[in-house]
Amino acid sequence: MRIAIALVHHPVLDRDGDVVTTAMTNLDLHDMSRSARTYGAFAMFVTHPIEAQRELVARIRDHWVEGSGKKRIPDRARALELVRTTITLDEAIEACGGRAAVEVWTTAAAARGRAITTFADARARLEKTDKTVLLVFGTGWGLAPSVVDAADVHLEPIHGAPGSDFNHLSVRAACAIALDRLVG
């Protein structure tokens, strides 16, 4: 089993459903890379078309992997060393071996009427596949339809407690839950 995660900042949707580019957040890098390391992912791709945002990711990563942050919290270095930046999701797919070698999986909050795969079925599929699985998460209000349409698997939604009328998890929380259900 070979798994990586990708955090997509473009193309994603805003609250009105328009395709936009979102800003990178420090918390996403820290928390998602820690989840990636905990659950055995070999990489965390941060896709962003804006060079200044990719440079910010690199500076944060370098601080924790090579700078004074590593001396203070070595475990954080182990997590953040998984972080890689790409301009597009296609570049992340290429870095994982190319489209023929990669299955792209999204979370079903973005499935919007497409067939979904339960976590149990996805877990079994993950154990059998010889392909790399790239688990893709969107920022903003979710992945743009073009990204969802190109995915091989749409994982079922993550639901809250029975009877709860609130379900608006951070991407960091959704990532941790999805990884736990797939490989935990």
Domains held by the chain: number? 1
- The answer to whether 84 and 45 are in contact (CB under 8 A) is yes
Phi, psi of 69, deg, nearest 5: -60, -35
- Domain with 116, as residue range(s), is 2-183
| Per-residue tens of pLDDT for the chain, all 184 residues | 899 999 999 999 999 999 999 999 999 999 999 999 999 999 999 999 999 999 999 999 999 999 998 888 888 899 999 999 999 999 999 999 999 999 999 986 666 778 899 999 999 999 999 999 999 999 999 999 999 999 999 999 888 888 888 878 899 999 999 999 999 9
Identify the CATH number of the domain in which residue 77 sits: 3.40.1280.10
How far apart are alpha carbons 91 and 130 in whole angstroms?
Answer: 20
What is the rounded CA–CA span in Å between residue 167 and residue 61?
31
